[in-house]
Structure 1
Amino acid sequence: MNKEVAIFKDIPTLLKGLKLPPPKNPYFQIHRFEDAPDSQLNETAIFRSNTYVMALMTKGEAHYKIGLRDYEMKKGSLYFLGPKHLRYYRREQKWKGYVCIFTNDFTTQSRLPNNYSDYTFYHLDASQKLQLDDEKMFHFQELMETLLNCFETNRTNLCWHYLQVILIEAEALHRKEHESQEERPEALIVIKFNELLERHFYDIVTGKAEEIFSVNDFADKLFVHPNYLSNTLKKLTGETAGQIIKKRVVLEAKSLLLTTGMSVSQTAYSLKFNDTSYFTKFFKGAVGLTPKQYQAQNRA
């Protein structure tokens, strides 16, 4: 992967970074995984992309990390990635299926949502995966194949409408699968915390935030007591708020160290550490390697 960027700004730069052929359309791209077998990276660095992704795996296996969540993708996995999602994947077996990449510039005026972030599976706090049975997988496979055919025959307007059909059907499945757990008050706290956490770290790396929130800061934003927040997170996720924030700092540091040309001191400064030596100690305590050792080991 291109080590010069941490955030791919558009579809052309994303495809170049993933060693895929350039897109026919700068705002929309769909292809079969198996149509570009030689360009499938076995493993990526941690990165972001200012695009939306929808993918259906009909064969193969992969491990994905999206934010702090781990997903095992396999036959029947329909998954989604939004512009602010920090992500990484490791391919376990060769993939078959479809990947569709698009931006908000691909929208047109309609009664349907014209901002793709309206779909729940593109929310930062949501689960990004639907696991389909064979019947549903074949149904979405037919829809993806139709969308691909429209794209290859330059019927752009039809592409937009078929894309909406797929997203709306996926949205209905996603809401049905997750509605029961989202109704629990404690679960809502976790959802809101995760949403706030992801937005905050996006603001950190884009220079919009001056410091990393403490547990108290997150609790204030969520209008709950810090102890209640940590206890609720511990109960439902197995980790306290402080532990989750620390993991998120480490994940962001790994991304910056591997996908940018930043020095260790620049990385520390970007993550609001005033002391490089403290950042090095913090990173080594979490990873077992100094930042320089981590770079050397993973860039080899």
Structure 2
Amino acid sequence: MANQDTRPVSAFNTALKLKGFNVFQLESDSNATRTYSRKDFYKICLTTGNSIVHYSDRSFAVTDTVLFFGNPHVPYSWETLSTSYVGYTCLFSEEFMKLSDRSESLQNSPLFKLSGTPIFPVSIPQRTFLNTIFEKMIEEQQTNYSYKDELIRNYIHLIIHEALKLEPARNVDSHKNAASRLTTVFLELLERQFPIETIDRPLQLTTAQQYAESLSVHVNYLNRAVNEVTGKSTTAHIAERILHEAKALLQHTDWNIADIAYALGFTYPSYFNNFFKKCTGTNPRSFRLAAV
């Protein structure tokens, strides 16, 4: 079977993946959101305007200028309230930052931890200084300077250190329905694990326990919330999404079944075969042949 790519990647996504970083200016609401594979990239935003940021199971009311740090392992969304919204965004992978000898895991940073507060109010003088840093990064990424990646990493470190000097935002809003919000966060995190694009990057979260740990809640609490809101268990949602991805990989790639099993987090192909047959009544090989 010929390998068919049914998930085209935009030129923006392709450039971002090749470089490991991208910096751009937000000029209006229409440009406030770019399409990219968020599960692979950390995000730093310097924005001016009114909005609500939903981060994990918390919401932050944002006014005026803030510095925001987004973790690809933590579901978040940005609800813009202003008619005018300006600023800068920098996207980068952990691999890009790890090329610096002094870099530790970004997930250990207080700015990117799940339990941390990723939003920092910024004064006018601070905004002026940070604007300059973002503008220098935008300018630098267009050059052919041999060491521009290292220079951009230095600029990112400078922004991080400036943020560590700031006091985090305190205006955290509790969600009116905790079960609903947690379920939304779980479903966002579940969807963020897909699509599976390469065999050497297998699915990492495959059980309710692993999702609960990623969301810093007890698995029983997660299960109760998801079942209350959707009528289905956490495990059922995970299984359905894995099955959906399994069908797509069987139909639209030439990967062998053992590789698909591994990519989807199954220790042995036989476990995948049993899972697939239990869910569909047929085995993966028969399903693939019928789809030709």
TM-score by length of 2: 0.53
2:140 equivalent in structure 1: 150
Aligned to 1:99: 89
User: When you count helix as a share of all residues, which structure comes out higher?
Assistant: 1
Deviation at 1:118, TM superposition (A): 3.2
Q: Is the CA contact (8 Å cut-off) linking 1:48 and 1:87 kept in structure 2?
A: no
1:210 aligns with 2:195: no
Distance 2:228 2:52 in 1: 19
Q: Distance in 2 between the 1:132 and 1:266 partners? A: 42
Pick closer, same or farther for the CA change 1:159–1:72 going to 2, 3 Å.
same
Look up the SS of the partner of 2:103 in the other structure. coil
Aligned partner of 1:73 in structure 2 is 62
Q: 2:23 aligns with which of 23, 30, 42?
A: 30
Aligned to 1:185: none
Query: SS in structure 2 opposite 1:121?
Result: coil
Whole-angstrom CA distance in 2 between matches of 1:77 and 1:144: 14
Deviation at 1:65, TM superposition (A): 0.8
Separation in 2, partners of 1:24, 1:244: 33
Distance change >3 Å, CA 38–CA 270, structure 1 → 2: same
Query: Identity across aligned pairs (percent)?
Result: 14
Corresponding residue for residue 74 of structure 2: 85
Could you tell me how far 1:113 is from its partner in structure 2?
1.9
Counterpart selection for 2:113 from 101, 123, 145 = 123
Distance 1:249 1:140 in 2: 44
Instruction: Please name the residue that 1:287 is paired with.
Output: none
Structure 1, unmatched stretches of 5+, are: 6-11, 179-193, 223-228, 231-240, 254-263, 274-300
> 1:167-218 deviations in whole A, cap 9, x for unaligned?
12212335xx59xxxxxxxxxxxxxxx9xx98xx77x9756453459xxx98
Contact persistence 1:54–1:78 (CA under 8 A): yes
2:42 to 48, 52, 61: 52
| 1:165, distance to aligned residue in structure 2 (A) | 1.4
- Scaled by the length of structure 1, what TM-score is found? 0.52
Contact 1:29/1:102 (8 A) holds in 2? yes
SS in 1 for 2:68: strand
Q: Distance in 1 between matches of 2:60 and 2:91?
A: 20
- 1:131 positional shift: 0.8
AA of the residue aligned to 1:166:
I
Cα distance in structure 1, aligned partners of 2:66 and 2:226: 25
Match of 1:261 in 2: none
Deviation at 1:87? 1.5
Distance 1:87 1:250 in 2: 22
Aligned length: 202
- Runs of 5+ unmatched residues, structure 2: 1-5, 170-181, 194-202, 241-292
Rounded to whole Å, the distance in 2 between the matches of 1:120 and 1:151 is 27
Structure 2 equivalent of residue 171 of structure 1: 164
- How far apart in 2 are the matches of 1:132 and 1:111? 29
Give per-residue Cα distances to partners, 1:43-101, cap 9 Å, x unaligned.
x9xx95221000001x3222221111112233221001112111122222232110000
Contact 1:62 1:90 in 2 (8 A): yes
Partner residue, 1:295: none
> Closer, same or farther in 2 for the Cα pair 1:104/1:24, shift >3 Å?
closer
Alignment CA distance shift 1:118-1:209 (3 Å): same
Report if the CA contact (8 A) 2:25-2:88 is conserved: yes
Contact 1:212/1:271 (<8 A) preserved = no
Query: CA distance change for structure 1 residues 26 and 110 in 2, over 3 Å: closer, same or farther?
Result: closer
Partner of 1:187: none
